[in-house]
Structure 1
Amino acid sequence: MSRHPHLILTQARAPLTRATQVMTEQGEWREQLLACERPLTIYLNKREIVTLMTLGEDPESLVLGYLRNQGLIEQLNDLLAIQVDWEVEAAAVITTHTPDDLEETLSKRTVTTGCGQGTVFGNQMERLKNLALNPWPIKQSQIYALLEALNQHNETYRNAGAVHGCAICTAEGHVLSFCEDIGRHNAVDTLAGRLWLEGISSQDKIFYTTGRLTSEMVIKAAQMGISVLLSRSGATEMGLSIAESLGMLMLARAKGRHFLVFSGQTRLTLDARPPVMPKSVKRRDSDE
């Protein structure tokens, strides 16, 4: 899992689904899989930080990505251990030192809306000013190839529903890492942790999500150094505003051959325009 042998990391993957009996509208009983949801309380050097509701696919990466995205761990060398114990629903994180401004940082947090109840700390917006993203170009045909590749994922969603998926992808249509979780915030934090542990550069990568591109999702992608955003759902006004300020290419409502480019339009080459659909068969997309 890790390229850093000095780290102590559990591999506490939990069951992702469980079966239950449901009754149909015809009064017939059948088995149905449910996506599991479980709390995980993070402790940083014995200080309780937050409780996340998670699927449990890759909890160690989730914890690391969350703490990094909140600015609570700046250097991977500072990390000594992440130990997840599902019996007590806790993750103990041990580092060489506790941030001097931990209490001040925790006092500035704001609970955001949306699936998973993400948390943004007040100093995140300030840290965006120091970001310099790589504005690399991409082709429409590459977006279509990537959407095709992504169809092979979303296993838990296909089996049980009720989850969001996020991925880190290449322009060549390869899905480097895919994660599903109860909240899209957890999924992107897990990806951030994986990339950090594996030493993968994200400067030329694409961030994909099944959920909305809210301000927090855009911020998390930017903190990973990613400048191309792709969502099968919509975007919020603040998410778009942040993407524009950072020069990010934002594509949303991406389903089949359809997508909308919200920002960074000059970076996209339209080399595979689909036939124009008659107005009589067009339908309005809805956010999910």
Structure 2
Amino acid sequence: MSELQCHDLILSQAQAQLTETVSVLDERGERRQIEIACERPLTIYLNKREIVTLMTLGDDPEALVLGYLRNQGFVRALTEVAAIQVDWEVESAAVVTYGEPEGLEEKLAQRTVTTGCGQGTMFGNLMERLTDICLPTPQVRQSTVYRLLKNLSEHNDTYRNAGAVHGCAICEGDRVVAFVEDVGRHNAVDTLAGRMWLDGISAENKLFYTTGRLTSEMVIKVAQMNIPVLLSRSGVTQMGLALARELGITMLARAKGRHFLLFSGATTLEYDAAADADHGGRG
């Protein structure tokens, strides 16, 4: 297993097969070879203490582990982490920090099972920590949303080949800064949270895109990343919307082609492309 040194952080560079070819019968009884997405468990150990087992595609596991620990409040800065070693042979990730995370026992005692694909888990008093978040007020253009949705279609390689995965992206304007796919949307957002730290990606002027529904979990994680705009091709939940409005997050959902619904942040969206919009049937 190769390793990468990143700001005194030792990272493995674990590789995993993302798709597998299987033989199936179609509706005519004819045999076909198709690709399906792989799914594998990854158990996270923090200073030899078992934290959680994630079911993941395994595209960028080190970033996934780091982002998960970041979003759950186990680590507050990249400099707290000494090493992340992912070993697919034993399906585990060993994380070493320079000191014991504050309130570790309390966090492990407070677990909330969420609606995340593959069953997500949130630790500790995350809702209380939201009071410390102050997001900037964004400005979003309708024309930029249209261009971004078109550009995003070029990044979902695993979905095109095999389906069964969610895609998430950090975007700036109509540019895709970072994109990841995983079997669970919460894994994808955690991976991007980790990637932001590892690559030094600023939250300034960023938008977060997901193919999955906008639940309270998604809103909380993106707010912790200090990104004030959420865009999804799926729907929203009541609690997700309530949190978005409380935190001042602009939430656009059911976005596909030239259609979207604005659920929160009415004053932040500039309708600059309505005249040439396609008013045909909704896809």
Match in the other structure for 1:136: 138
Q: Is contact 2:5-2:11 (8 Å) kept?
A: no
1:200 aligns with 2:201: yes
Q: Is contact 2:169-2:209 (8 Å) kept?
A: yes
Match in the other structure for 2:182: 181
Question: In the TM superposition, what is the alpha-carbon distance from 1:24 to its structure 2 partner?
Answer: 0.8
Question: In the TM superposition, what is the alpha-carbon distance from 1:17 to its structure 2 partner?
Answer: 0.2
Q: Is contact 2:166-2:183 (8 Å) kept?
A: yes
2:119 to 110, 117, 120: 117
SS of the aligned residue for 2:43 comes to strand
Please show how residues 242-261 of structure 1 align to structure 2 within 5 Å.
242-261=243-262
User: What amino acid does structure 1 have at the position aligned with 2:10?
Assistant: I
User: Following superposition, which runs of at least 4 residues in structure 1 exceed 4 angstroms of deviation?
Assistant: none
2:16 to 14, 21, 25: 14
Q: Percent identity?
A: 65
Cα separation, 1, equivalents of 2:197 and 2:168: 16
Please show how residues 204-243 of structure 1 align to structure 2 within 5 Å.
204-243=205-244
SS of the aligned residue for 2:191 comes to helix
Match in the other structure for 2:98: 96
Structure 1 length normalisation: TM-score?
0.94
Distance 1:212 1:146, change over 3 A: same
SS of the aligned residue for 1:94 comes to strand
Q: Is contact 2:40-2:58 (8 Å) kept?
A: yes
Cα separation, 1, equivalents of 2:271 and 2:102: 49
Match in the other structure for 2:68: 66
1:44 aligns with 2:35: no
Q: Is contact 2:115-2:215 (8 Å) kept?
A: no
Structure 1: gaps (5+ residues): none
Question: In the TM superposition, what is the alpha-carbon distance from 1:200 to its structure 2 partner?
Answer: 1.2
Structure 2: gaps (5+ residues): none
What does the per-residue CA deviation read over 1:202-256, in whole Å, with 9 as the maximum and x for residues that have no partner?
Answer: 1210000000000000111100000000000001110000100011110000000
Cα separation, 2, equivalents of 1:132 and 1:211: 25
Q: Is contact 1:116-1:186 (8 Å) kept?
A: no
Cα separation, 2, equivalents of 1:268 and 1:15: 41
Question: In the TM superposition, what is the alpha-carbon distance from 1:186 to its structure 2 partner?
Answer: 0.2
SS of the aligned residue for 2:244 comes to helix
Cα separation, 2, equivalents of 1:223 and 1:2: 26
Distance 1:179 1:276, change over 3 A: closer
> What CA RMSD, in Å, does the superposition of the two structures yield over aligned residues?
1.5
SS of the aligned residue for 2:132 comes to coil
SS of the aligned residue for 1:84 comes to strand
The aligned length equals: 280
User: What amino acid does structure 1 have at the position aligned with 2:96?
Assistant: I
Q: Is contact 1:203-1:227 (8 Å) kept?
A: no
Match in the other structure for 2:107: 105
Question: In the TM superposition, what is the alpha-carbon distance from 1:277 to its structure 2 partner?
Answer: 3.3
Q: Is contact 1:2-1:198 (8 Å) kept?
A: no
Which segment drifts farther, 96-105 or 252-261?
Answer: 96-105
What does the per-residue CA deviation read over 1:52-104, in whole Å, with 9 as the maximum and x for residues that have no partner?
Answer: 00000000000000000000011211110000000000000000111241111
Q: Is contact 1:2-1:197 (8 Å) kept?
A: no
Match in the other structure for 2:163: 161
SS of the aligned residue for 1:129 comes to helix
Distance 1:244 1:2, change over 3 A: farther
Question: In the TM superposition, what is the alpha-carbon distance from 1:119 to its structure 2 partner?
Answer: 1.2
